[in-house]
């Protein structure tokens, strides 16, 4: 799960990833899980890995890098928890309420909840509840388990926000103590968690949303195929504070779609770019001419073609999060070019020649020099997939489905 908590604490978004998600693993140092450290052995990059295998081989660092590349988001902290620690935390808050429509029976773990209805479960039962993936009557295995996990955490959060934990300093300290005793963390300390818990005291449960990344079937070897463009759109919407499905206290939309690029950008070496030159001007051959001029200026040309959206009124440089300097370097060579954020581009930078293209290519800002007069970046509202699975922490788990 990847958790997003904005600075203003106005919402919390938790996104679940199927453990069998098909990903490309970067080069990683081997992770020794028993001793919680890294060895000198290196694993090469590999395509077609399962997400849980990335952690098993390369540990938190490899997992974080993989998820960052997939989502276009920066991950600042990592927390891992073992089974015993999970049980202790549930017991620390006096158990957690769950609701089932029928007895919960698992082919491996046995009977977990014997009767339908509302139940308060202790740590042992809770662990079985969130781990079960062979439940009779469930057909989606990992996805049904993800849904149960999200509903469980939503219930845990409702209990914490109701005053039993976050508003009781003694209980909060006890919970944090139990948590830190059973977790492996990176860039997190107990005081950070205590301050975070206190800062969330005024949060309403309806402002907490759980999402599941969408997939498109499975590979021939059983991996879930990520819908990458949809996943990146979801995380852009989260970063931009767009309202999300099921959110009961959604934040107000940003006052404007225009966001200034940080002014302290430094020009990069043009030869390090992967620059796509796309013709949206309606003038035949313009992209090839511009690409040749840019190549003469030292830019690395990835490809030349027509703009996929057809004609574009405006000339613009499109880029993903983390590639602002590369995009601004391109824009410094194209008079009048705007900037547009699109996290589906990954490391690619795209120059779209619009109808207002002046057919002029200047020398870019010298490498290492500050880029002045950086054009503003536009990033309009993201269109989210209509089949996005979600759970809101303000929902009553025993309420009839809508």
Q: Which residue has the higher pLDDT, 187 or 41?
A: 41
Q: 26 and 137: one domain?
A: yes
The H or E element containing residue 68 is helix 51-71
Q: 247 and 290: one domain?
A: no
CATH number of the structural domain spanning residue 31: 3.40.630.190
Does 264 fall in a domain?
no
Does 400 fall in a domain?
no
Q: 167 and 101: one domain?
A: yes
> Comparing 13-22, 110-119, 335-344, which segment has the lowest mean pLDDT?
335-344
Q: 87 and 167: one domain?
A: yes
Residue 73's domain spans which residues? Answer: 2-253+387-392
Does 367 fall in a domain?
yes
Q: 7 and 138: one domain?
A: yes
Q: 224 and 326: one domain?
A: no
Q: For residues 308 and 345, what is the distance between their CA atoms, to the nearest angstrom? A: 13
Four-residue CA torsion sign, 45, 47, 52, 56? negative
> Comparing 82-96, 118-132, 234-248, 254-268, which segment has the lowest mean pLDDT?
254-268
CATH number of the structural domain spanning residue 356: 3.30.70.2390
- Per-residue pLDDT tens for 69-80? 888 788 888 988
Mean pLDDT of 268-284: 93
> Comparing 29-43, 86-100, 152-166, which segment has the lowest mean pLDDT?
152-166
Q: For residues 391 and 397, what is the distance between their CA atoms, to the nearest angstrom? A: 10
Q: 144 and 232: one domain?
A: yes
Q: 223 and 277: one domain?
A: no
Based on the structure, what is the number of domains in the chain? 2
CB-CB neighbours of 301 under 10 Å: 16
Does 121 fall in a domain?
yes
Q: 109 and 194: one domain?
A: yes
| pTM exceeding the 0.85 threshold for the entire prediction | no
The H or E element containing residue 130 is helix 123-131
Q: What is the DSSP letter of 207?
A: G
Q: 157 and 248: one domain?
A: yes
Q: What integer pLDDT is reported at residue 174 of this predicted model?
A: 77
Q: 185 and 280: one domain?
A: no
Nearest alpha-carbon partner for 375 in 322, 320, 334, 346: 334
């Amino acid at each position: 799960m990847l958790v997003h908590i904005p600075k203003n604490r106005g919402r919390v978004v938790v996104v679940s990833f199927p453990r069998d998600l098909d990903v490309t693993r970067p080069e990683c140092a081997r992770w020794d899980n028993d001793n919680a450290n890294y060895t000198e052995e290196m694993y090469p990059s590999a395509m077609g890995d399962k997400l849980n295998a990335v952690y098993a081989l390369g540990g938190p660092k490899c997992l974080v890098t993989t998820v960052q590349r997939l989502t276009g988001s920066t991950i600042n902290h990592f927390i891992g928890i073992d089974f015993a620690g999970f049980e202790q935390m549930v017991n620390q808050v006096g158990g957690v309420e769950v609701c089932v429509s029928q007895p919960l029976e698992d082919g491996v773990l046995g009977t977990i909840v014997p009767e339908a209805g509302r139940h308060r479960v202790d740590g042992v039962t809770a662990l079985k509840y969130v781990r079960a993936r062979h439940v009779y009557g469930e057909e989606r295995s990992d996805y049904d388990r993800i849904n149960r996990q999200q509903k469980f955490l939503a219930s845990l959060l409702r209990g914490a926000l109701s005053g039993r934990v976050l508003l009781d300093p003694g209980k909060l300290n006890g919970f944090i103590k139990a948590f830190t005793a059973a977790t492996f963390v990176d860039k997190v300390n107990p005081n950070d968690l205590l301050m975070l818990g206190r800062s969330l005291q005024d949060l309403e449960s309806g402002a907490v949303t759980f999402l599941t990344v969408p997939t498109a079937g499975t590979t021939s070897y059983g991996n879930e195929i990520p819908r990458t463009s949809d996943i990146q759109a979801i995380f852009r919407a989260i970063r931009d504070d767009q309202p999300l499905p099921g959110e009961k206290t959604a934040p107000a939309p940003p006052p404007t779609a225009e966001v200034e690029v940080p002014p302290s950008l430094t020009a990069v070496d043009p030869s390090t770019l992967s620059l796509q030159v796309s013709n949206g001007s309606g003038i035949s051959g313009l992209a090839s001419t511009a690409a040749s001029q840019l190549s003469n200026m030292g830019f690395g040309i990835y490809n030349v073609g027509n703009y996929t959206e057809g004609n574009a009124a405006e000339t613009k440089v499109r880029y993903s999060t983390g590639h602002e300097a590369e995009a601004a370097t391109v824009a410094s060579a194209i008079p009048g070019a705007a900037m547009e954020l699109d996290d589906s581009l990954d490391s690619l930078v795209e120059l779209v020649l619009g109808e207002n293209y002046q057919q002029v290519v200047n020398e870019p800002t010298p490498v290492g020099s500050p880029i002045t007069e950086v054009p503003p970046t536009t990033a309009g509202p993201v269109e989210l997939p209509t089949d996005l699975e979600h759970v809101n922490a303000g929902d009553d788990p025993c309420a009839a489905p809508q």
